[in-house]
Structure 1
Amino acid sequence: MSHSIPVATTWVNGQLADHLPVTDRGLAYGDGLFETLRASQGRLPLLELHLKRLQRGCDVLRIPFRRQLIEEELGSAANAIGDGVVKLTLTRGSGQRGYAMPADAQPTRVIAVFPLPEYPADRRDGVQLYCCATRLSDQPLLAGIKHLNRLEQVLARSEWQDPAFAEGLVCDQQGRVVEGTMSNLFARVAGEWVTPDLSRCGVQGVMRDYLLARMLERGQRFTVGALTLDALHQADQVFCCNSLIGVWPVIRLGDRAWQVGSETRLLQSLAEQVYL
Protein backbone atom coordinates (compact mmCIF):
# COMPACT_ATOMS: atom_id res chain seq x y z
CA MET A 1 0.00 0.00 0.00
CA SER A 2 1.43 3.37 -1.00
CA HIS A 3 -0.36 6.65 -0.45
CA SER A 4 -0.19 9.75 -2.63
CA ILE A 5 2.09 12.06 -0.68
CA PRO A 6 5.14 14.03 -1.85
CA VAL A 7 8.40 12.06 -2.16
CA ALA A 8 9.61 13.63 1.10
CA THR A 9 7.21 15.26 3.53
CA THR A 10 8.32 16.66 6.90
CA TRP A 11 6.62 17.77 10.07
CA VAL A 12 8.32 19.87 12.74
CA ASN A 13 6.68 19.67 16.16
CA GLY A 14 3.52 18.33 14.55
CA GLN A 15 3.23 21.01 11.84
CA LEU A 16 4.11 20.69 8.15
CA ALA A 17 7.46 22.46 7.79
CA ASP A 18 10.83 22.04 6.14
CA HIS A 19 13.20 24.16 8.24
CA LEU A 20 14.66 24.56 11.74
CA PRO A 21 16.15 27.57 13.53
CA VAL A 22 19.93 27.81 13.20
CA THR A 23 20.12 27.80 17.01
CA ASP A 24 18.90 24.19 17.20
CA ARG A 25 21.42 22.10 19.14
CA GLY A 26 20.91 19.15 16.84
CA LEU A 27 22.57 21.22 14.12
CA ALA A 28 25.17 22.85 16.36
CA TYR A 29 26.33 19.80 18.34
CA GLY A 30 24.49 16.73 17.10
CA ASP A 31 22.65 16.99 20.41
CA GLY A 32 19.85 14.56 19.76
CA LEU A 33 18.70 11.17 18.56
CA PHE A 34 17.01 9.61 15.56
CA GLU A 35 15.03 6.53 14.63
CA THR A 36 14.40 5.17 11.14
CA LEU A 37 11.25 3.04 11.01
CA ARG A 38 9.75 0.95 8.25
CA ALA A 39 6.04 1.43 7.67
CA SER A 40 3.99 -1.42 6.26
CA GLN A 41 0.34 -0.95 5.28
CA GLY A 42 0.16 2.10 7.52
CA ARG A 43 1.62 0.26 10.52
CA LEU A 44 5.00 0.40 12.28
CA PRO A 45 5.55 -3.24 13.27
CA LEU A 46 8.75 -2.67 15.27
CA LEU A 47 7.55 0.55 16.89
CA GLU A 48 7.89 -0.71 20.46
CA LEU A 49 11.55 -1.62 19.98
CA HIS A 50 12.25 1.76 18.39
CA LEU A 51 10.55 3.58 21.27
CA LYS A 52 12.52 1.57 23.84
CA ARG A 53 15.79 2.53 22.18
CA LEU A 54 14.67 6.15 21.94
CA GLN A 55 13.80 6.10 25.64
CA ARG A 56 17.28 4.77 26.48
CA GLY A 57 18.83 7.52 24.38
CA CYS A 58 16.73 10.22 26.02
CA ASP A 59 17.73 8.93 29.45
CA VAL A 60 21.42 9.10 28.52
CA LEU A 61 21.24 12.57 26.94
CA ARG A 62 18.72 13.84 29.50
CA ILE A 63 16.23 14.91 26.85
CA PRO A 64 12.54 14.86 27.95
CA PHE A 65 10.75 11.95 26.28
CA ARG A 66 7.10 12.62 25.42
CA ARG A 67 6.29 9.06 24.44
CA GLN A 68 2.55 9.38 23.81
CA LEU A 69 2.95 12.45 21.60
CA ILE A 70 5.81 10.91 19.62
CA GLU A 71 3.93 7.64 19.20
CA GLU A 72 0.87 9.47 17.90
CA GLU A 73 2.89 11.53 15.43
CA LEU A 74 4.77 8.49 14.15
CA GLY A 75 1.48 6.65 13.72
CA SER A 76 0.03 9.53 11.71
CA ALA A 77 3.11 9.62 9.49
CA ALA A 78 2.93 5.87 8.89
CA ASN A 79 -0.73 6.14 7.98
CA ALA A 80 0.11 8.95 5.56
CA ILE A 81 2.70 6.96 3.64
CA GLY A 82 1.31 3.43 3.91
CA ASP A 83 4.46 1.57 2.81
CA GLY A 84 7.68 3.50 3.22
CA VAL A 85 10.18 4.95 5.66
CA VAL A 86 9.37 7.16 8.63
CA LYS A 87 12.32 8.98 10.18
CA LEU A 88 12.14 10.71 13.55
CA THR A 89 14.81 13.19 14.63
CA LEU A 90 14.57 14.39 18.21
CA THR A 91 16.88 17.23 19.28
CA ARG A 92 17.29 19.05 22.55
CA GLY A 93 15.89 22.11 20.80
CA SER A 94 17.32 25.61 20.55
CA GLY A 95 19.88 27.12 22.89
CA GLN A 96 22.54 29.76 23.21
CA ARG A 97 26.15 29.25 22.12
CA GLY A 98 28.10 26.86 24.37
CA TYR A 99 27.92 23.23 25.43
CA ALA A 100 25.95 23.73 28.63
CA MET A 101 22.46 22.21 28.44
CA PRO A 102 19.82 24.96 28.49
CA ALA A 103 17.61 24.60 31.54
CA ASP A 104 14.53 25.67 29.57
CA ALA A 105 15.20 23.94 26.23
CA GLN A 106 12.14 22.58 24.44
CA PRO A 107 12.91 19.39 22.41
CA THR A 108 12.35 19.58 18.66
CA ARG A 109 10.59 16.71 16.88
CA VAL A 110 11.17 16.30 13.16
CA ILE A 111 9.33 13.53 11.33
CA ALA A 112 9.92 12.84 7.66
CA VAL A 113 8.50 10.17 5.34
CA PHE A 114 10.23 8.65 2.31
CA PRO A 115 9.63 5.85 -0.18
CA LEU A 116 11.24 2.51 0.61
CA PRO A 117 14.79 2.29 -0.75
CA GLU A 118 15.03 0.26 -3.94
CA TYR A 119 17.78 -2.21 -3.15
CA PRO A 120 18.75 -4.77 -5.82
CA ALA A 121 16.58 -7.88 -5.43
CA ASP A 122 19.58 -10.22 -5.53
CA ARG A 123 20.85 -8.89 -2.19
CA ARG A 124 18.37 -11.23 -0.55
CA ASP A 125 20.58 -14.07 -1.83
CA GLY A 126 23.83 -12.64 -0.57
CA VAL A 127 25.98 -9.52 -0.41
CA GLN A 128 29.64 -8.66 -0.42
CA LEU A 129 31.12 -6.61 2.43
CA TYR A 130 33.84 -4.00 2.18
CA CYS A 131 36.33 -4.06 5.08
CA CYS A 132 36.51 -0.44 6.24
CA ALA A 133 39.71 1.14 7.52
CA THR A 134 37.71 3.59 9.67
CA ARG A 135 37.59 2.40 13.28
CA LEU A 136 34.88 3.18 15.82
CA SER A 137 35.91 5.01 18.99
CA ASP A 138 35.13 3.57 22.41
CA GLN A 139 32.54 5.63 24.28
CA PRO A 140 30.46 3.50 26.66
CA LEU A 141 28.22 6.45 27.60
CA LEU A 142 26.91 6.69 24.02
CA ALA A 143 27.22 3.04 22.98
CA GLY A 144 24.06 1.39 21.71
CA ILE A 145 21.95 4.52 21.30
CA LYS A 146 21.25 6.16 17.94
CA HIS A 147 22.58 9.66 18.58
CA LEU A 148 23.00 12.23 15.82
CA ASN A 149 26.81 12.10 15.72
CA ARG A 150 27.34 9.72 12.78
CA LEU A 151 30.59 11.07 11.33
CA GLU A 152 32.38 7.76 11.84
CA GLN A 153 29.75 6.05 9.71
CA VAL A 154 29.93 8.83 7.11
CA LEU A 155 33.71 8.36 6.83
CA ALA A 156 33.44 4.58 6.71
CA ARG A 157 30.78 4.70 3.99
CA SER A 158 32.92 7.08 1.93
CA GLU A 159 35.63 4.42 1.57
CA TRP A 160 33.96 2.64 -1.34
CA GLN A 161 31.88 3.54 -4.37
CA ASP A 162 31.85 0.14 -6.10
CA PRO A 163 28.21 -1.08 -6.18
CA ALA A 164 29.51 -4.64 -5.84
CA PHE A 165 29.79 -3.90 -2.11
CA ALA A 166 26.42 -3.63 -0.42
CA GLU A 167 27.72 -2.78 3.03
CA GLY A 168 30.92 -2.07 4.94
CA LEU A 169 32.32 -3.93 7.93
CA VAL A 170 33.49 -1.69 10.78
CA CYS A 171 35.75 -2.65 13.69
CA ASP A 172 36.70 -0.98 16.99
CA GLN A 173 40.07 0.44 17.97
CA GLN A 174 41.28 -3.03 18.98
CA GLY A 175 40.32 -4.51 15.61
CA ARG A 176 37.28 -6.43 16.87
CA VAL A 177 34.22 -6.64 14.64
CA VAL A 178 31.43 -4.29 15.72
CA GLU A 179 28.84 -3.84 12.95
CA GLY A 180 28.20 -2.62 9.42
CA THR A 181 28.00 1.04 8.52
CA MET A 182 24.19 0.79 8.62
CA SER A 183 23.53 -2.67 10.03
CA ASN A 184 24.29 -5.19 12.74
CA LEU A 185 26.22 -8.38 12.10
CA PHE A 186 25.69 -12.03 13.07
CA ALA A 187 28.13 -14.89 12.49
CA ARG A 188 27.51 -18.59 13.07
CA VAL A 189 30.61 -19.96 14.80
CA ALA A 190 30.93 -23.54 16.08
CA GLY A 191 27.19 -24.15 15.90
CA GLU A 192 25.92 -20.97 17.54
CA TRP A 193 25.18 -17.41 16.49
CA VAL A 194 27.50 -14.68 17.71
CA THR A 195 26.71 -10.98 17.49
CA PRO A 196 29.20 -8.37 18.73
CA ASP A 197 28.86 -6.83 22.15
CA LEU A 198 27.90 -3.16 21.79
CA SER A 199 28.66 -1.90 25.29
CA ARG A 200 31.58 0.28 24.14
CA CYS A 201 30.57 1.40 20.66
CA GLY A 202 28.08 0.66 17.89
CA VAL A 203 24.31 0.91 17.53
CA GLN A 204 21.92 -1.57 19.13
CA GLY A 205 19.65 -2.16 16.15
CA VAL A 206 15.98 -3.00 16.57
CA MET A 207 16.15 -5.85 14.03
CA ARG A 208 19.07 -7.27 16.00
CA ASP A 209 16.94 -7.12 19.17
CA TYR A 210 13.99 -8.67 17.35
CA LEU A 211 16.05 -11.58 16.02
CA LEU A 212 17.72 -12.24 19.37
CA ALA A 213 14.26 -12.46 20.95
CA ARG A 214 13.15 -14.95 18.28
CA MET A 215 16.29 -17.05 18.86
CA LEU A 216 15.59 -17.10 22.57
CA GLU A 217 11.97 -18.19 22.00
CA ARG A 218 13.14 -21.03 19.75
CA GLY A 219 15.88 -22.21 22.07
CA GLN A 220 18.60 -21.37 19.57
CA ARG A 221 22.07 -20.90 20.98
CA PHE A 222 23.61 -17.45 20.66
CA THR A 223 26.29 -15.31 22.26
CA VAL A 224 26.54 -11.55 22.57
CA GLY A 225 30.25 -10.97 22.92
CA ALA A 226 33.59 -10.24 21.31
CA LEU A 227 33.96 -11.25 17.66
CA THR A 228 37.43 -11.08 16.15
CA LEU A 229 38.14 -10.98 12.44
CA ASP A 230 39.75 -14.42 12.76
CA ALA A 231 36.57 -15.82 14.32
CA LEU A 232 34.49 -14.17 11.62
CA HIS A 233 36.58 -15.88 8.95
CA GLN A 234 36.02 -19.21 10.71
CA ALA A 235 32.23 -18.78 10.72
CA ASP A 236 30.16 -20.95 8.41
CA GLN A 237 27.33 -18.40 7.99
CA VAL A 238 27.24 -14.61 8.25
CA PHE A 239 24.48 -12.04 7.79
CA CYS A 240 23.80 -8.36 8.38
CA CYS A 241 20.45 -6.87 9.34
CA ASN A 242 18.51 -3.73 10.07
CA SER A 243 14.88 -2.67 10.19
CA LEU A 244 14.76 -1.59 6.53
CA ILE A 245 16.72 -4.36 4.79
CA GLY A 246 15.66 -7.22 7.04
CA VAL A 247 18.39 -9.86 6.68
CA TRP A 248 21.05 -9.90 3.98
CA PRO A 249 23.22 -13.04 3.93
CA VAL A 250 26.92 -12.22 3.58
CA ILE A 251 28.63 -14.30 0.90
CA ARG A 252 32.02 -12.57 0.65
CA LEU A 253 34.48 -10.47 2.64
CA GLY A 254 37.82 -10.08 0.90
CA ASP A 255 39.05 -13.56 -0.01
CA ARG A 256 36.61 -15.31 2.34
CA ALA A 257 33.41 -16.67 0.79
CA TRP A 258 30.36 -18.15 2.51
CA GLN A 259 27.31 -20.13 1.49
CA VAL A 260 23.81 -19.07 2.50
CA GLY A 261 22.81 -21.60 5.13
CA SER A 262 19.40 -22.81 6.24
CA GLU A 263 19.75 -21.12 9.64
CA THR A 264 20.27 -17.77 7.91
CA ARG A 265 17.27 -18.38 5.65
CA LEU A 266 15.09 -19.09 8.68
CA LEU A 267 16.02 -15.80 10.34
CA GLN A 268 15.59 -13.99 7.05
CA SER A 269 12.08 -15.40 6.81
CA LEU A 270 11.29 -14.31 10.38
CA ALA A 271 12.49 -10.79 9.57
CA GLU A 272 10.35 -10.64 6.43
CA GLN A 273 7.25 -11.82 8.29
CA VAL A 274 7.38 -8.70 10.45
CA TYR A 275 6.13 -6.58 7.57
CA LEU A 276 3.48 -8.91 6.12
Structure 2
Amino acid sequence: MIWINGQPQEHLSVRDRAVQFGDGCFTTARIEQGKVFDLRAHLERLQQACERLLIRDVDWQALRQEMKIAAATRTTGVLKVIVSRGVGGRGYSASGCQQASRIIMLSDYPTHYHQLRQTGVRLALSTIRLGRNPQLAGIKHLNRLEQVLIRTELEQTGADEALVLDTQGLLVECCAANLFWRKGEEVFTPDVTQAGVNGIQRQRVMRLLAAQGVRVREVSVPPQILEQADEIFITNALMPVLPVVEIDNRFYRSRTLFNRINEHDFQGNL
Protein backbone atom coordinates (compact mmCIF):
# COMPACT_ATOMS: atom_id res chain seq x y z
CA MET A 1 0.00 0.00 0.00
CA ILE A 2 1.07 3.57 -0.71
CA TRP A 3 -0.42 6.79 0.65
CA ILE A 4 0.37 10.27 -0.67
CA ASN A 5 -0.76 13.13 1.55
CA GLY A 6 -3.10 10.79 3.37
CA GLN A 7 -4.77 9.36 0.27
CA PRO A 8 -4.25 5.77 -1.02
CA GLN A 9 -2.63 6.28 -4.43
CA GLU A 10 0.55 5.50 -6.34
CA HIS A 11 0.85 8.54 -8.61
CA LEU A 12 3.07 11.48 -7.65
CA SER A 13 3.21 14.62 -9.76
CA VAL A 14 6.27 14.81 -12.01
CA ARG A 15 6.52 18.40 -10.78
CA ASP A 16 7.14 17.24 -7.22
CA ARG A 17 10.66 18.19 -6.18
CA ALA A 18 11.33 14.64 -5.00
CA VAL A 19 11.14 13.67 -8.67
CA GLN A 20 12.87 16.78 -10.01
CA PHE A 21 15.79 17.05 -7.60
CA GLY A 22 15.59 14.41 -4.86
CA ASP A 23 14.60 17.37 -2.68
CA GLY A 24 13.53 15.67 0.51
CA CYS A 25 14.32 13.07 3.14
CA PHE A 26 13.11 9.68 4.33
CA THR A 27 13.13 7.16 7.13
CA THR A 28 12.45 3.41 7.26
CA ALA A 29 10.89 1.82 10.33
CA ARG A 30 9.89 -1.62 11.57
CA ILE A 31 6.27 -2.47 12.22
CA GLU A 32 5.78 -4.69 15.25
CA GLN A 33 2.34 -5.79 16.47
CA GLY A 34 0.70 -3.18 14.27
CA LYS A 35 2.74 -0.27 15.62
CA VAL A 36 5.68 1.76 14.35
CA PHE A 37 8.71 0.73 16.35
CA ASP A 38 10.35 3.85 17.83
CA LEU A 39 7.84 6.19 16.20
CA ARG A 40 9.06 9.25 18.07
CA ALA A 41 12.65 8.73 16.96
CA HIS A 42 11.64 8.36 13.32
CA LEU A 43 9.58 11.55 13.42
CA GLU A 44 12.44 13.40 15.10
CA ARG A 45 14.79 12.15 12.38
CA LEU A 46 12.50 13.53 9.69
CA GLN A 47 12.09 16.82 11.51
CA GLN A 48 15.83 17.25 11.92
CA ALA A 49 16.42 16.45 8.26
CA CYS A 50 13.74 18.92 7.17
CA GLU A 51 15.33 21.60 9.33
CA ARG A 52 18.70 20.92 7.71
CA LEU A 53 17.16 21.00 4.22
CA LEU A 54 15.07 24.09 5.03
CA ILE A 55 11.84 22.23 4.22
CA ARG A 56 8.90 23.90 5.92
CA ASP A 57 5.13 23.52 5.78
CA VAL A 58 5.16 19.86 6.88
CA ASP A 59 1.96 18.77 8.61
CA TRP A 60 3.66 16.73 11.32
CA GLN A 61 0.46 15.92 13.19
CA ALA A 62 -1.10 14.48 10.03
CA LEU A 63 2.06 12.52 9.25
CA ARG A 64 2.20 10.97 12.72
CA GLN A 65 -1.42 9.88 12.44
CA GLU A 66 -0.91 8.52 8.91
CA MET A 67 2.08 6.46 10.06
CA LYS A 68 0.07 4.96 12.92
CA ILE A 69 -2.90 4.17 10.68
CA ALA A 70 -0.68 2.56 8.03
CA ALA A 71 1.18 0.43 10.61
CA ALA A 72 -2.09 -0.78 12.11
CA THR A 73 -2.92 -2.57 8.84
CA ARG A 74 -0.09 -5.08 9.44
CA THR A 75 1.21 -7.18 12.30
CA THR A 76 4.80 -6.94 11.06
CA GLY A 77 6.44 -5.22 8.13
CA VAL A 78 8.37 -2.19 6.97
CA LEU A 79 7.08 1.37 6.81
CA LYS A 80 8.96 3.88 4.67
CA VAL A 81 8.16 7.57 4.97
CA ILE A 82 9.27 10.19 2.46
CA VAL A 83 8.91 13.93 2.93
CA SER A 84 9.58 16.13 -0.10
CA ARG A 85 9.44 19.89 -0.46
CA GLY A 86 6.38 19.35 -2.63
CA VAL A 87 5.28 20.95 -5.90
CA GLY A 88 6.42 24.41 -6.85
CA GLY A 89 9.38 26.56 -7.71
CA ARG A 90 11.16 27.05 -10.99
CA GLY A 91 14.50 25.44 -11.62
CA TYR A 92 16.38 25.01 -8.37
CA SER A 93 14.41 27.75 -6.65
CA ALA A 94 11.99 26.52 -3.98
CA SER A 95 9.95 29.69 -4.21
CA GLY A 96 6.29 28.83 -4.65
CA CYS A 97 6.33 25.53 -2.76
CA GLN A 98 3.24 25.74 -0.56
CA GLN A 99 2.99 22.33 1.08
CA ALA A 100 5.46 19.49 1.67
CA SER A 101 4.47 16.10 0.27
CA ARG A 102 4.02 13.12 2.63
CA ILE A 103 4.52 9.65 1.16
CA ILE A 104 4.05 6.43 3.12
CA MET A 105 4.85 2.96 1.75
CA LEU A 106 4.34 -0.48 3.29
CA SER A 107 6.31 -3.63 2.45
CA ASP A 108 7.14 -7.04 3.93
CA TYR A 109 9.85 -7.44 6.55
CA PRO A 110 13.13 -8.73 5.00
CA THR A 111 13.19 -12.21 6.52
CA HIS A 112 16.81 -12.87 5.51
CA TYR A 113 17.81 -10.76 8.53
CA HIS A 114 16.65 -13.62 10.76
CA GLN A 115 19.08 -15.98 9.03
CA LEU A 116 21.95 -13.49 9.05
CA ARG A 117 21.53 -13.09 12.79
CA GLN A 118 22.59 -16.75 13.04
CA THR A 119 25.12 -17.08 10.23
CA GLY A 120 26.64 -13.62 10.41
CA VAL A 121 27.32 -11.07 7.69
CA ARG A 122 30.08 -11.07 5.08
CA LEU A 123 31.34 -7.64 4.06
CA ALA A 124 33.19 -6.64 0.89
CA LEU A 125 35.10 -3.37 0.54
CA SER A 126 33.33 -1.16 -1.99
CA THR A 127 35.24 0.79 -4.62
CA ILE A 128 32.50 3.44 -4.59
CA ARG A 129 33.38 6.30 -2.23
CA LEU A 130 31.02 8.63 -0.38
CA GLY A 131 31.46 12.34 -0.96
CA ARG A 132 32.17 14.47 2.12
CA ASN A 133 29.57 17.16 2.79
CA PRO A 134 28.92 18.22 6.40
CA GLN A 135 25.72 20.04 5.38
CA LEU A 136 24.11 16.75 4.29
CA ALA A 137 26.04 14.25 6.41
CA GLY A 138 24.10 12.34 9.03
CA ILE A 139 20.62 12.74 7.52
CA LYS A 140 18.77 10.41 5.14
CA HIS A 141 18.16 12.75 2.22
CA LEU A 142 16.71 11.50 -1.05
CA ASN A 143 19.95 11.76 -3.03
CA ARG A 144 20.94 8.08 -2.85
CA LEU A 145 22.85 7.55 -6.11
CA GLU A 146 26.01 6.66 -4.19
CA GLN A 147 24.14 3.89 -2.39
CA VAL A 148 22.56 2.69 -5.64
CA LEU A 149 26.02 2.33 -7.17
CA ILE A 150 27.36 0.64 -4.03
CA ARG A 151 24.48 -1.85 -4.03
CA THR A 152 24.86 -2.53 -7.74
CA GLU A 153 28.54 -3.30 -7.26
CA LEU A 154 27.81 -5.40 -4.15
CA GLU A 155 25.40 -7.61 -6.11
CA GLN A 156 28.33 -8.68 -8.30
CA THR A 157 30.05 -10.19 -5.26
CA GLY A 158 29.11 -12.99 -2.89
CA ALA A 159 29.03 -10.66 0.12
CA ASP A 160 25.97 -9.66 2.14
CA GLU A 161 26.87 -6.00 2.67
CA ALA A 162 29.44 -3.45 1.55
CA LEU A 163 32.10 -1.73 3.64
CA VAL A 164 32.09 1.89 2.48
CA LEU A 165 34.76 4.59 2.70
CA ASP A 166 34.64 8.31 1.98
CA THR A 167 36.70 10.12 -0.65
CA GLN A 168 39.60 10.40 1.80
CA GLY A 169 39.68 6.62 2.28
CA LEU A 170 38.22 6.66 5.80
CA LEU A 171 35.59 4.28 7.18
CA VAL A 172 32.02 5.59 7.12
CA GLU A 173 29.41 2.82 7.13
CA CYS A 174 27.92 0.02 5.05
CA CYS A 175 25.55 0.42 2.12
CA ALA A 176 22.46 0.32 4.33
CA ALA A 177 23.83 -0.02 7.86
CA ASN A 178 26.09 1.58 10.44
CA LEU A 179 29.30 -0.06 11.60
CA PHE A 180 30.69 -0.85 15.06
CA TRP A 181 33.76 -2.77 16.20
CA ARG A 182 35.35 -3.82 19.48
CA LYS A 183 39.03 -4.06 20.35
CA GLY A 184 39.45 -5.47 23.83
CA GLU A 185 37.18 -3.40 26.06
CA GLU A 186 37.02 -0.43 23.67
CA VAL A 187 34.18 0.08 21.17
CA PHE A 188 34.36 2.23 18.07
CA THR A 189 32.11 3.52 15.29
CA PRO A 190 33.01 5.74 12.31
CA ASP A 191 32.46 9.46 12.62
CA VAL A 192 29.57 10.50 10.33
CA THR A 193 29.83 14.28 10.53
CA GLN A 194 31.36 14.50 7.04
CA ALA A 195 29.57 11.64 5.25
CA GLY A 196 27.14 8.82 5.98
CA VAL A 197 23.98 8.44 8.06
CA ASN A 198 23.57 8.78 11.81
CA GLY A 199 21.13 5.89 12.05
CA ILE A 200 18.43 5.57 14.69
CA GLN A 201 19.71 2.13 15.69
CA ARG A 202 23.26 3.48 15.79
CA GLN A 203 22.11 6.06 18.32
CA ARG A 204 20.22 3.42 20.34
CA VAL A 205 23.27 1.16 20.57
CA MET A 206 25.44 4.05 21.71
CA ARG A 207 22.93 4.97 24.42
CA LEU A 208 22.57 1.35 25.52
CA LEU A 209 26.33 0.89 25.87
CA ALA A 210 26.70 4.23 27.64
CA ALA A 211 24.08 3.10 30.16
CA GLN A 212 26.26 0.05 30.78
CA GLY A 213 29.35 2.18 31.28
CA VAL A 214 30.81 1.54 27.82
CA ARG A 215 31.81 4.64 25.87
CA VAL A 216 31.68 4.32 22.09
CA ARG A 217 34.42 6.35 20.41
CA GLU A 218 33.52 8.00 17.10
CA VAL A 219 36.63 7.91 14.96
CA SER A 220 37.95 8.80 11.49
CA VAL A 221 40.21 5.89 10.55
CA PRO A 222 41.18 3.82 7.48
CA PRO A 223 39.71 0.32 6.95
CA GLN A 224 42.98 -1.39 7.93
CA ILE A 225 42.07 -0.69 11.57
CA LEU A 226 39.47 -3.45 11.34
CA GLU A 227 42.23 -6.03 11.00
CA GLN A 228 42.92 -5.47 14.71
CA ALA A 229 39.27 -5.77 15.76
CA ASP A 230 38.13 -8.58 18.04
CA GLU A 231 34.49 -8.19 16.99
CA ILE A 232 32.47 -6.31 14.39
CA PHE A 233 28.73 -5.79 14.00
CA ILE A 234 26.40 -3.64 11.92
CA THR A 235 23.06 -1.99 12.67
CA ASN A 236 20.02 -0.40 11.11
CA ALA A 237 16.40 0.09 12.13
CA LEU A 238 15.30 -3.17 10.51
CA MET A 239 18.12 -5.60 11.32
CA PRO A 240 18.44 -4.26 14.08
CA VAL A 241 21.92 -5.75 14.91
CA LEU A 242 23.89 -8.32 12.89
CA PRO A 243 27.32 -9.84 13.61
CA VAL A 244 30.06 -9.62 10.99
CA VAL A 245 31.93 -12.87 10.36
CA GLU A 246 34.08 -11.97 7.35
CA ILE A 247 35.58 -8.99 5.53
CA ASP A 248 37.38 -9.91 2.31
CA ASN A 249 38.64 -13.28 3.62
CA ARG A 250 39.47 -12.04 7.12
CA PHE A 251 37.31 -13.84 9.68
CA TYR A 252 35.83 -12.72 13.00
CA ARG A 253 34.52 -15.19 15.57
CA SER A 254 33.65 -13.23 18.70
CA ARG A 255 30.04 -12.24 19.38
CA THR A 256 30.46 -11.03 22.95
CA LEU A 257 29.13 -7.52 22.41
CA PHE A 258 26.61 -8.60 19.77
CA ASN A 259 25.05 -11.11 22.17
CA ARG A 260 24.81 -8.50 24.91
CA ILE A 261 23.08 -6.00 22.62
CA ASN A 262 20.93 -8.55 20.81
CA GLU A 263 19.54 -9.86 24.09
CA HIS A 264 18.54 -6.39 25.21
CA ASP A 265 14.88 -5.39 24.91
CA PHE A 266 15.10 -2.55 22.40
CA GLN A 267 11.58 -1.51 23.27
CA GLY A 268 12.89 -0.06 26.48
CA ASN A 269 13.16 3.71 26.80
CA LEU A 270 16.82 4.53 26.38
TM-score category (smaller protein): over 0.9
Contact 1:250 1:260 in 2 (8 A): no
Provide the residue aligned with 2:166 in structure 1.
Answer: 172
- Alignment match of 1:266 (pick from 257, 260, 264): 260
| Partner secondary structure for residue 127 of structure 2 | strand
Provide the residue aligned with 1:246 in structure 2.
Answer: 240
- Alignment match of 2:175 (pick from 181, 191, 194): 181
Structure 1 residue 66 displacement after superposition: 2.8
Q: Which segment drifts farther, 224-233 or 211-220?
A: 224-233
Provide the residue aligned with 2:72 in structure 1.
Answer: 79
How far does the alpha carbon of each residue in 1:129-177 deviate from its partner, in whole angstroms, 9 at most, with x for none?
0110000000100000100000000001111325741111100111111
The alignment status of 1:56 with 2:40, answered yes or no, reads: no
Provide the residue aligned with 1:124 in structure 2.
Answer: 117
| Partner secondary structure for residue 140 of structure 1 | coil
Output the CA distance in 2 between the equivalents of 1:207 and 1:120. Answer: 15
Contact 2:134 2:193 in 1 (8 A): yes
Structure 1 residue 178 displacement after superposition: 0.3
The alignment status of 1:199 with 2:189, answered yes or no, reads: no
Output the CA distance in 1 between the equivalents of 2:163 and 2:95. Answer: 38
The alignment status of 1:208 with 2:202, answered yes or no, reads: yes
Distance 1:35 1:84, change over 3 A: same
Provide the residue aligned with 1:34 in structure 2.
Answer: 26
Provide the residue aligned with 1:5 in structure 2.
Answer: none
Structure 1 residue 261 displacement after superposition: 2.1
TM-score in terms of structure 1 length: 0.92
Output the CA distance in 1 between the equivalents of 2:238 and 2:139. Answer: 18
Structure 1 residue 220 displacement after superposition: 1.3
Contact 2:154 2:161 in 1 (8 A): no
Output the CA distance in 1 between the equivalents of 2:249 and 2:158. Answer: 14
Contact 1:194 1:227 in 2 (8 A): no
Q: Which segment drifts farther, 253-262 or 97-106?
A: 97-106
Please show how residues 91-170 of structure 1 align to structure 2 within 5 Å: 91-119=84-112, 121-125=114-118, 126-161=120-155, 164-170=158-164
Contact 2:181 2:189 in 1 (8 A): yes
- Alignment match of 2:249 (pick from 244, 251, 255): 255
TM-score in terms of structure 2 length: 0.94
Name structure 2 gaps, 5 residues minimum. Answer: none
How far does the alpha carbon of each residue in 1:85-139 deviate from its partner, in whole angstroms, 9 at most, with x for none?
1111111011244001124431111111111112164311311001100000001
Contact 2:179 2:233 in 1 (8 A): yes
Contact 1:23 1:96 in 2 (8 A): no
Name structure 1 gaps, 5 residues minimum. Answer: 1-8
AA at the equivalent of 2:21: Y
Output the CA distance in 1 between the equivalents of 2:257 and 2:155. Answer: 31
How far does the alpha carbon of each residue in 1:221-269 deviate from its partner, in whole angstroms, 9 at most, with x for none?
3211223212111110000110111111001001311013221111122
- Alignment match of 1:23 (pick from 15, 18, 28): 15
How many residues get paired? 266
Structure 1 residue 57 displacement after superposition: 0.5
AA at the equivalent of 2:84: T
Structure 1 residue 39 displacement after superposition: 0.6
How far does the alpha carbon of each residue in 1:192-225 deviate from its partner, in whole angstroms, 9 at most, with x for none?
1101111001011111011111111111132112
Structure 1 residue 36 displacement after superposition: 0.6
Output the CA distance in 1 between the equivalents of 2:156 and 2:242. Answer: 18
Output the CA distance in 2 between the equivalents of 1:104 and 1:206. Answer: 29
Distance 1:73 1:12, change over 3 A: same
Output the CA distance in 2 between the equivalents of 1:45 and 1:120. Answer: 17
